[in-house]
Every structure is written in structure tokens, then in C-alpha cells.
A = this chain, B = another copy of it.
């Protein structure tokens, strides 16, 4: 008997379980993976960012002479097995740290295994040694995350077709990589492997890559990727992945107005999205319902079965680790009977770890107009920015979206190397609804990229008749 059964120890379930247990609830956290951390740690954000760090360093190294540094050769060899070993070491360290932190909470039990609901108040846990254990609970939280989608393309199960999780264990750098899907993961890994020496082609079904990103920023990044030699084809429909009989496959596709084409690849990366992980949970033994967007919940994240909640990727978009954590922490407060603010989509922030990075918080210009907001835009070109010039990363732009009536900042969108780190301020601006005038007056330290926020606000106000 436990107070709360939490199924899934990722970015939603782990902080939720810890918060409830720290508040004195008896919590059982069941996780099937190698440790606490979920997809983000073991199969997503962290390992891909470790690869990207190596690529980023290699790019910087190739630019050393810009800064007066002379090397006999600027073409470093990449020791890929060292990169993989580094990845494994960081994952292990983080997984163990999370386990140790959980272990210090007396009322929290972490069980490695698969949980399957037997009824609305009981579940069976299958342990790694195949032994089974039955547990009853007062409340349960389903936080099983998501898995990559494999669209029904003929040949999609070929061993050379990797998804976003498989590729993180790839034994060598691909020579000819075809990426199916031009979302954040496809763009990030496409740039990483291009930098590391792969020939990269990116196939996207929509008319543009990076659909949800501000179109101006997406276009700058598209141009940059093409300049770096990544071949981008939009309006693609994938027909089949065909075995060549040799050391690769052909990806067959049609591209609008260009007819049928095919492209050789030794590696295909399939990144067309993720879907909630609902299989094998015994949901049918309960009243929990689910649809194409995952488990259905109300505004307090409670499922159709009272006492069973769901949180994170398993309830659908937006699938971000930090969003899942925010939901999990809000749910923990709610389950403790405390007032709780569940996160709102219009306050979310995200970073695409492209080169340069794209940071986003709140609404885009288009989303703000759809909501009937009288949109004002404060712009800034990083070509004029001191910090960006010093770092020779001055090809970027910032757009701050504000409401001309309420004066509040409702969105921030930046493309610049280092955009990720200025998104904390962006998220706070949007979350707290800071007026554009207050932003213009705030003192940002010099010389940093954060100054761009104040400068953009001041320039916008200088030409704003409402000011």
C-alpha cells in the first residue's frame, strides 16, 4: 500500500514524486529505464546536446584564426568513441545523482520495473528479474512520456533507419545522412553531423522547416544551413526506403513540382514527431481514456478515472522537459491540496540548439495577432551588438512582441548564438507581463547579449506614438 504511485521517472514524474514525498506522502516511483531522468536525460535533450557541444567546439576551433590563434591545422579529428564515452559518463552521473537525491527522502521508494494498472487502485510491477509485485494506492500519476513515431513508410524498419533515440548510440559518424523531418531535432542533429563531416540532406513535408518558429528567424536559419552545405527539400512526400543491397538505402520521395526522386543514404534519421506512450499500462482496467493526443485530462490533470492523474508528454503537446517539470510541480501542489497554478502555453519557453540557437518565449507575432492583440514589435539586429561582435556571432536578430494597449511583453524570439541563456529573462518577461517601458528602463550589464532586450525596447519606444 502506498499513498501515491507514480509511473515514470522522467522530468514530470521525478520532481512530482520528490515534492509529494518531501511533503510527507508515501510515494512509490516506478521507472523502467536505466535511472531517473526519462527520455530527456537518456534519449533526448542531454545526449543530443553533448554531441552538439562537440560540434560547436569544432566550429569554434575552425574559426580560431579570426581571434588571432594559429594552429598547424584547424581540422581536428573527431574521436567519436570518446564522444560516446563522454555521453555515457554524463548520463550515468546525472542518473545516479537523481537516484541518490531521491534516496535521501525517507517516504519515497524508487522501483525499477514496468507498472501495469490492475484496477483503479492497484497495479502490478514487473521487476527486471521478471518477478512481479502487486501494489495498491490511493492515487496514481501516469508520467510515461512519449516515444518516436514511425510513420507507415515501406522499408521504415530497415536497420539503417534510426529514430531520434537510436542515433544517440550510433557507432560512427554517418557519411551520407538523410533526415526525414525538419523540426527542431532534425535541424539540430543535421547541423551537428554536417559539422562533424557528414553529407546531410533534410526532407520536410511542409513548405518550410521549423514550422512553429517565427518565419523570419526560421528563414535566417534555413539560409545558414544551406550555406553550410545542408540540402533542404520541402514539400516532400516519402514513398519508400529501399535496400540497395549494398551499404545503404535509397530514400524515395516526391517533391512538389520536381516529381519522383531518390537519395542514397548510409544512415536515415527519422524524426517526424513523438507520440504519447500509453501501451501496456493497463488503462483498460480503469476509466482512464486516451485519444490521438494521449491520455485525456481535465484542467487539474486528472483523468476520467478519479484519483488517477497524468502529466507530461503522455498528455500531448507541448512535449518539452521543462514544461513537463512545471506541470509535475504544479500537480504535486494540487495533490497536496494547495492552490496551484498550472502552466499556461502562452508562458512557455523553448530553445532550439541550432547554430545559431533559437530561443522562444510566449506568443509569436502571428499568434498574438490571432488573439486580437494590437501587436507592437521591438526589433534588434545583433550585427550592431557589442557582445555578438566580440564573439564574431553577429548574424542574428531579436523580436519582442508586445501589446500596444496593455504595454505588456507577450513574446520574445531570438536567433543568435547564446540565445538559450537569454531566454530566462524572456520567460520571466512574458510570465510576469512586464511592460515594454519597464524593460526599456531596466539595467542590463554591458557587454552582454542581454542588453539587446533593453536596446530593442528603447528603439521601439522612440518611434511609438503611444509612448
Contacts and interface: CB of A to CB of B under 8 A. Distances in A.
A286 interface: no
Interface string A387-425: 101110000000000000000000000000010111111
Interface residues of A, number: 89
Given A68-B86, A347-B443, A46 B341 contact: no
A288 interface: no
A73 interface: yes
A444 B421 contact: no
A78 B422 CA distance: 31
B431 A432 contact: no
A244 interface: no
A341 B440 CA distance: 12
**Among A86, A421, A432, residue most surrounded by chain B Cβ atoms (within 10 Å):** A421
Interface in A423-438: 423-425, 427-429, 431-432, 434, 438
Contact of A432 (B40, B60, B438): B438
Contact of A61 (B64, B90, B329, B348): B64
A447 B389 contact: no
A131 to B, nearest CB: 33
Contacts of A341: 441
A420 B439 CA distance: 18
A57 interface: yes
A351 B461 CA distance: 27
Given A326-B443, A341-B441, A448-B420, A53 B67 contact: yes
A57 B54 contact: no
Given A424-B450, A450-B421, A79 B86 contact: no
A423 B442 contact: no
Nearest to A37: B386
Contacts of A256: none
A320 B46 CA distance: 37
A93 interface: yes
B66 A448 contact: no
Contact of A57 (B67, B83, B349): B67
Interface in A174-206: none
A321 interface: yes
A321 B69 contact: no
B359 A445 contact: yes
Interface in A64-78: 64-73, 76-78
Given A68-B78, A68-B83, 6 more contacts: A69-B76, A69-B78, A94-B386, A322-B446, A420-B450, A428-B442
Q: Which 10 A-B pairs have the closest CB atoms?
A: A424-B450, A421-B421, A68-B82, A68-B83, A425-B425, A424-B425, A322-B446, A69-B76, A54-B67, A420-B448
Interface of A: 11, 19, 22, 40, 45-46, 49-50, 53-54, 57-58, 60-61, 64-73, 76-83, 86, 90, 93-94, 97, 320-323, 325-326, 329-330, 341, 343, 347-351, 359, 361, 384, 386-387, 389-391, 418, 420-425, 427-429, 431-432, 434, 438-439, 441-451, 453, 458, 462
7 contacts: A11-B446, A69-B76, A320-B446, A326-B441, A361-B445, A424-B424, A424-B448
